[in-house]
Amino acid sequence: MKFGILVNEGPYQHQAADSAYLFAKAALEMGHEVPRVFFYMDGVNNANKLQEPQQDDRNVVQRWSELAESHEVDLVVCVAAALRRGIKDEILAPGFRISGLGQLVEIGVEADRLVTFGD
């Protein structure tokens, strides 16, 4: 099965980012495809490489970057939502890219299921 994932919440103020990551990881481990994760609204904060969580806390941004690298998952950040929150190419973590809502529409059409995390 091919899953598209939409993340609408930031990495540390809501469980949605963690749940989305764990869902994507589990799906990939089970042999499913996750070609793209789209980050929208506050979810764009998952792409900010300037975040520095405490050493004993999980690093959500790094988790996403590692998932993208190891499984070739396209991590797309909504341009309008990113710019509203001061996120530009210079502060994107590895594996993330900025693009428009067309990327969300495309994965919604191509995937068997589009799973949304967050409000």
> With 0-12 CB in 10 A as exposed, 13-18 as middle and 19+ as buried, what is 62?
middle
How far apart CA 35 and CA 52 sit, in angstroms, is 27
Candidates 117, 97, 14, 4; CA nearest to 49 is 97
Catalytic residue among 78, 82, 92, 114: 78
Active-site residue 78, yes or no? Answer: yes
Please identify every residue annotated as catalytic: 78
